[in-house]
Amino acid sequence: MTGALVAGLVAGYGIAIPVGAVGTYLVSLTARTSLRTGACAALGVATADGLYALLATVGGSAVAAVLRPVLGPLAWASALVLLALAALGAVTAVRRYRARHLTARSEPPPPSPARAFLSLLGITLLNPTTVLYFAALVLGTGTADAAHPLAQGAFVLAAFAASASWQLLLAGGGALLGRALTGRRGRLVTALVSSGVMAVLALRIVAQA
C-alpha cells in the first residue's frame, strides 16, 4: 500500500510539474479571472490526470495498445485546440486593449468556475501522452496487479492529489500575477505571451506526430 501511494505521488508530480501549454493557460486564465475560477480549472486538470491514472491501473498495457494507433489523430486534435485557444486569447486581448472607451459591462463575462473545470478537463484529456506515461509507470512498478485493488486505489488517489496540489499552486501564482498586472498593457502582454507559448507547443506536437 505504501509503495503504491509513493508511486502515485511520484507519478502525479512527474506528469504535472513540467509546465506546458495547459499550465501556461491555467496561469493566464487565473490572472484574468479569479482564484476561484483558477482553482476549479486546476481541479479539472488534476481530474484528467486521475482518470488517466485509473485507466492505466485498470488497463495497463491494454490501454496503451488501444491508444497507440490513434496517437496521430489525437495529437492533431490537441494541436488544433491549442492553436484555437492561442488565437482566441490573442485576438481577445488585442480587442480589449484597443477598445479604450468600452465600459466594463461591454466586456464578455469571464468563464464560470464550472465551465473552467470542464474546459481544462477536456483540454488535458486530449493529451495523448498522459495515458502512455501512466501505463508505462504502472507496468514498471507493478501497480496494475489486479489482486491488489486497494493499492490501485491508493495509486490513483495519490496521483490525483499530487497533480491537484501542483495545479493549485500554478493557479495561486496566476492570481498573484493578476493582482500585479492590473493595467491594460500588462494584461495584453500576459495574454500574448501565453498565446505564443501555446502556439509554439501546438506546432511541436504537430512536428512530432
Which of 18-22, 46-50, 85-89, 119-123 has the lowest average pLDDT?
A: 18-22
CA–CA gap between residue 173 and residue 177 (Å, rounded): 6
* Domain ranges, residue 118: 2-208
Distance of CA 15 to the CA centre of its chain: 10
Domain count, the chain: 1
Q: What's 18's DSSP letter?
A: S
CA distances in angstroms from 150 to 124, 142, 145, 157, 174, listed in the order given: 26, 13, 10, 11, 36
- Sign (positive or negative) of CA dihedral 72, 115, 41, 104: positive
Q: Categorize the per-residue pLDDT at 164 as very low, low, confident or very high, splitting at 50, 70 and 90.
A: very high
State the pTM of this model.
0.66
pLDDT of 24-49, one tens digit each? 788 888 888 889 999 999 999 999 98
Residue 162 has pLDDT above 50, yes or no: yes
CB atoms within 10 A of CB 105: 6
Q: In 3D, which of 29, 139, 154, 39 has the Cα closest to residue 93?
A: 29
Residue 138 has pLDDT above 60, yes or no: no
CA–CA gap between residue 163 and residue 43 (Å, rounded): 9
Q: In 3D, which of 114, 176, 109, 143 has the Cα closest to residue 4?
A: 143
CA–CA gap between residue 82 and residue 200 (Å, rounded): 9
- Rounded to 10°, the helix 184-208/71-98 angle is 160
Q: In 3D, which of 126, 121, 146 has the Cα closest to residue 62?
A: 146
- pLDDT at position 147 is 44
